[in-house]
Structure 1
Amino acid sequence: MNGHPLDRVVHSALTSSRQSHLAVREGGALRMAAGYGVFVAVDDPARTDDVRRLPVPEGKLVSVEALAQPLPEGFRLEKEAVLLQMTLTALKSGKVRDIRIEKLGDADAEQMLALAILTEPGPFFANTHRLGDFYGVKEEGRLLAMAGERMKPDGFTEVSGVCVHPDAQGRGLAAAVMRQVIEAIVARGETVFLHSYDHNDRAIALYEGLGFSVRAPMKMRTLVPL
């Protein structure tokens, strides 16, 4: 289908050279593998009937599209929200702080999931940290902040999972870990993008301060099986 690949970002990611192996497909519908995410898309936006054949062990699926699609049969709309899809124009210079940032991995998975559950940066599951590189800040072994990569359409990488423990707010940790993630993506020659709820002024200000600007509003829908 024609159009910008980020207009149908989930479909673009799950049919990309880097993440197609994570797609669970039933006919013209596909979702991210359980344990990694709950994102869903269809090949043809006018045909959503195959969505009901997909497994939904988490009890919900989430679509992110520039244009709202018909509600799939067998599902009800639990939540609808507007996301601002933002792309990086150029990473702005920022104040250098003495913050020790380290790469996170499987050994940190339990703490990463706990921090995501506490702060709710978006859908995050046991294997979400394996979608890409994640970086974090720890103090005495305790994870206080993290950010990483999520959806990867060809030529693009999404920054996601940005969260800071309430005990560590106001210390510039979110910007610091995001910079680490962004610099690695830019070094690969890819376009960096992210999503934010349109009403999250604090997050939007952070992202704009790093060099992001709004590309397009996106419709996010949470679908629950009947």
Structure 2
Amino acid sequence: MTTETSTAATVTDRAARLDALPADTPHILDNPALASLTGPHARFAERRGRVLRYPVDVTGWVALPDEPDAKDWADLAALAGPGAEVPLSGYCGRLPDDWEVTFRIAGVQLVDESLAAAPAPEAVRLGPADVPEMLDLVARTRPGPFLHRTVELGTYLGIRRNGTLVAMAGERLHPPGWTEISAVCTDPAARGQGLGTRLVRAVAHGIRERGETPFLHTAAANTDAIRLYESLGFRLRRGTAFLAARVPRRPTAGPPACRRRGQSSAGRAPVEPL
């Protein structure tokens, strides 16, 4: 079997497994940003009506209600400002006609099922003073958005070699009872040593110590990362989407309600899970 055939088979297998998951069973992780900003991360919440978001220098996550109406979209437009680009990761429904999609890729959500969590003795706690180094590592490795105040969201651990930060991982979204592991990255020169794995297990250990369960997100096309996380004990829970849209420069009209997987709608196609 060729590499291309093997990769295609892996993606097809995961898609089939996702299709088999219940589409209409509500779960707190279906809208993790909303659960975070109305729960443990309420101190970060910027609110207008039913719409919440994190400060723009903390993380780009925005929380819409499960079925946003016309007022919710107008509130989001007012909160973000005319012409602003707004991340809408995880949103499953149609956008209003005058909102422009600027970015969209398929993603997956995985949850801890049998992870061997353990401390990493060589890992150090990272804080605000380490942010310049963290931003430099993120720029070299591109694990996803990490901003000047992202470190405030939870515990971040790092490993240094000869005084240089070469690997890190930490906590981002925090729905009640759950914590997202994020910003997992290793400098290219330090890969192959298992540093990322040790940090994931160490961050998960801290989460478990609080009586919570780790989860994470990654791109659906990142099959190597998915395979690694599954080998560590994470289970594929659902497909999702990472997308962003531009706020119209004039007030928006209302959209249709969010539709669940498998439902059709007229006009703009809904953002579907895998």
SS of alignment partner, residue 103 of structure 1: strand
1:49–1:72 contact (8 Å) kept in structure 2: no
CA separation of 1:93 and 1:36: change in aligned 2, threshold 3 A: closer
Query: Which of residues 153, 169, 186 is equivalent to 2:191?
Result: 169
State the alpha-carbon separation in 2 of the partners of residues 156 and 131 from structure 1. 13
State the alpha-carbon separation in 2 of the partners of residues 101 and 148 from structure 1. 12
For normalisation by structure 2, the TM-score amounts to 0.74
State the alpha-carbon separation in 2 of the partners of residues 114 and 45 from structure 1. 38
Bigger CA drift: 37-46 or 55-64?
55-64
Partner of residue 74, structure 2: 49
Partner of residue 204, structure 2: 182
Q: Are positions 1:78 and 2:102 aligned together? A: yes
Partner of residue 60, structure 1: 85
1:154, CA displacement in angstroms? 0.6
Structure 2 gaps, min length 5: 1-24, 249-274
Map Cα deviations across residues 193-226 of structure 1 (whole Å, 9 max, x no partner): 0001111011112211210010111122112334
1:133–1:181 contact (8 Å) kept in structure 2: yes
State the alpha-carbon separation in 2 of the partners of residues 126 and 109 from structure 1. 7
State the alpha-carbon separation in 1 of the partners of residues 134 and 181 from structure 2. 15
2:31–2:66 contact (8 Å) kept in structure 1: no
State the alpha-carbon separation in 1 of the partners of residues 163 and 200 from structure 2. 20
1:24, CA displacement in angstroms? 1.0
CA separation of 1:106 and 1:100: change in aligned 2, threshold 3 A: same
CA separation of 1:167 and 1:205: change in aligned 2, threshold 3 A: same
1:59, CA displacement in angstroms? 4.8
User: Structure 1 runs of 4+ off > 6 angstroms?
Assistant: none
Partner of residue 40, structure 1: 62
Partner of residue 11, structure 1: 34
For normalisation by structure 1, the TM-score amounts to 0.89
1:49–1:73 contact (8 Å) kept in structure 2: no
Q: Are positions 1:208 and 2:230 aligned together? A: yes
State the alpha-carbon separation in 2 of the partners of residues 185 and 57 from structure 1. 38
Q: How much is the aligned-residue C-alpha RMSD, in angstroms?
A: 2.3
1:56, CA displacement in angstroms? 5.9
State the alpha-carbon separation in 2 of the partners of residues 13 and 33 from structure 1. 13
Rg: which structure is higher? 2
Map Cα deviations across residues 82-114 of structure 1 (whole Å, 9 max, x no partner): 2110000121389x9x97211111121111111
Aligned letter for 1:207?
Y
State the identity as a percent: 34
SS of alignment partner, residue 222 of structure 1: strand
Aligned length: 221
Aligned letter for 1:194?
L
1:36–1:125 contact (8 Å) kept in structure 2: yes
Structure 1 gaps, min length 5: none
SS of alignment partner, residue 29 of structure 2: coil
Bigger CA drift: 55-64 or 138-147?
55-64
Map Cα deviations across residues 92-150 of structure 1 (whole Å, 9 max, x no partner): 389x9x97211111121111111112222111100001110000110122110000000
2:109–2:216 contact (8 Å) kept in structure 1: yes
Bigger CA drift: 121-130 or 45-54?
45-54
